[in-house]
Structure 1
């Protein structure tokens, strides 16, 4: 439905229609045969102008009433024409067509008993139908255009809101991925610190050189952990996220051996078996995911089975995929550090996003197994 016009627009429209109605009455006085209808013309003109406020509030009933007045006198023609156009602008086609038909019939009746001098009734009827058809088409076309514009504005508003929602979701997802990345790094770093701290606690009789070395490793590890924690906080605070906070390089498959050596230096016996053929052709994203799988497995082994050996097997080739397996015996004591249980959940999501699968659980005879399978296209 069209928006209601301001009051001053309605007032100006009524004034113009009243002027046109008066000019129609005055123009008919030039024909002596029409002077006998002067009283009827004035009465119809006054009533038609008085009906206009009703027509603007209720277009269809008001326009039909004006069509009846137009059948009585040409003084009702200007208000009736405006009524037909108003309904065509504001109402559906069926209602507008019925009102236009009523206006056409009213003017045909007027032409029958008050014909225009010099204009045959046939031509009058043709003009009458043409005018009302044009009014109907004009009004319906304008209404359709307004509806189209309103629809386009609504779609643009929805699209803008949807775009904003997608941007917010993308930022949230990116923050989640970055926080998960840093969780893996921090968990690995802190588990190493806990290992060295445990050595200091249970072997106070070690030589001063070993104690100093362990204390130095802990101090360096704490500084690294604090730096990584600051990166996590900056990621969660920033409204705009770059590819990597602080420009930290992402690990690759080639960094696996350094990761294993780091765990060995912390006192974990790691048996590393690398059977990968042509590792240079491994996609970077797959290599990064493989690194995180091994990192999480070694971290969990240090946390829940400290001092127990870990076996890491990596095998694969282009077209066959990459398979990673970590196994360790059951713990012979309490966990070195408590776990939240979210590491494996995040790791499972990471592997699935890479198109792979992750399986973990207890092995027969005690112990734990972590196995991942990642795609490796040719």
Structure 2
């Protein structure tokens, strides 16, 4: 809350307490609204001061200096709520100062911990039983007055606790909103990393293979060199286009990217043969068997996940088992689901130079498969490394 606004509110509280005390002065100064009725001696500072205001049509305010002090210290109720409450309790014990007492107890209930609240509340109630122990034959009016004061104290504390709970609930909701925003940002960053890895790692690994072949084949003819350079240029161009698509997807994840009023085609099972063809053109030995009821495969996330699995598998073979033949089998249909198996002999030696990996590709693929409602496994099976996946294909 703004500092100036706080001071305006504090001033308003002091003025309101003074007005209410003036309005209740005829009742309070009979001793009917005090923690310890008839405790004062009638002499200063426990005596009364009388103020008559012509501006208020001759309204008379009967009050004593101690009550004025209790009202005045309410100005510091935010800064020292416990000390102000103790002053108000002391004032209410010797003079009729119920209004500043109620305000001070309310402030303590809002700002201080439960132990402090309980201590101050008991301190405020203590003069009432002490008075009746000292005056066992007090009249019924005094008993009613004590009950009213006790109810006011309980109401002030209860209302303060209610306001405190509303404030804590608001703060908790704001904190949860911040956590949700941070969680959403984290998920967005994971999506960025996953998409960047899945889309660009494949293209860049192809670039590395072609560039490596061009570098080490120094005796190639001019025509072969030009053809290899054209393949590198085309792969780089395709990588830039894929990067653009990824960035557009991240800018509008709910609706998909828009380019010149059209949306790019959804990647899926139908694009797997083209993906394999790219690897074959780069010199890899890849055999693809597809036995599916529909060439386009399942729409949505299942088809995209199959494409990503093949893409990640081919990238890993180029990194870790360069030269190994790859066999891919895809089969299934609506209602039966889509099964994928991808295997290659385990590579020997270190990963291919110049093609680093983060080691997170298969983790990301597994997350994709789980989110699609499927199953995924990978690991050695005899001399081969095998990826297996099953994905739902709605009928």
Could you tell me how far apart the structure 2 residues matched to 1:87 and 1:212 are? 88
How far did 1:192 drift?
A: 1.4
Question: Which deviates the most, 311-320 or 325-334?
Answer: 325-334
Whose helix fraction is larger, Structure 1's or Structure 2's? Answer: 1
User: Could you tell me which residue of structure 2 aligns to residue 215 of structure 1?
Assistant: 229
CA 1:42 to 1:307, structure 2 compared with 1: closer, same or farther past 3 Å? Answer: closer
Q: Which runs of structure 2 are paired with 1:211-360 in the superposition (5 Å)?
A: 211-226=225-240, 228=242, 241-243=251-253, 250-278=266-294, 282-331=298-347, 335-337=351-353, 338-340=355-357, 341-360=359-378
Alignment of 1:108-119 (within 5 A): 109=137, 111=139
Q: CA deviation at 1:288?
A: 0.9
Deviation readout 1:208-249 (Å, 9 max, x if unpaired): 4333222111012223334555777x69xxxx8431577665
Residue among 339, 350, 369 paired with 2:386: 369
- Aligned pair count? 332
Deviation at 1:13, TM superposition (A): 5.3
CA distance in 2 between partners of 1:56 and 1:328 (Å): 80
SS of the aligned residue for 1:256 comes to: helix
TM-score, normalised relative to structure 1? 0.69
**Counterparts of 1:190 and 1:86 in 2: how far apart (Å)?**
71
Change (3 A) 1:211 1:41: closer
Secondary structure of the 2:373 match is coil
Matches within 5 A, 1:148-159: 148-159=162-173
Structure label with greater radius of gyration: 1
Which residue in 1 is equivalent to 2:142? Answer: 128
| Aligned equivalents of 1:249, 1:311: Cα separation in 2 | 27
User: Residues 227 and 259 from structure 1, CA distance in 2 versus in 1: closer, same or farther, beyond 3 angstroms?
Assistant: closer
The residue aligned with 1:118 is none
Runs of 5+ unmatched residues, structure 1: 26-36, 67-75, 112-124
Partner of 2:90: 62
Q: Distance in 2 between matches of 1:255 and 1:171?
A: 31
Judged with a 3 Å threshold, the aligned counterparts in structure 2 of structure 1 residues 87 and 229 are, in CA distance, closer, same or farther, namely closer
Secondary structure at the aligned position of 1:268 is classed as coil
CA 1:106 to 1:271, structure 2 compared with 1: closer, same or farther past 3 Å?
A: same
Moved more, 244-253 or 216-225: 244-253
Query: What RMSD in Å do the two structures reach over aligned CA positions?
Result: 4.4
Partner of residue 72, structure 1: none
The question of whether the paired residues in 2 share the 8 Å contact of 1:108 and 1:128 is answered with no
Query: Any stretches of 5+ residues in structure 2 without a counterpart?
Result: 1-9, 31-37, 49-62, 71-82, 109-116
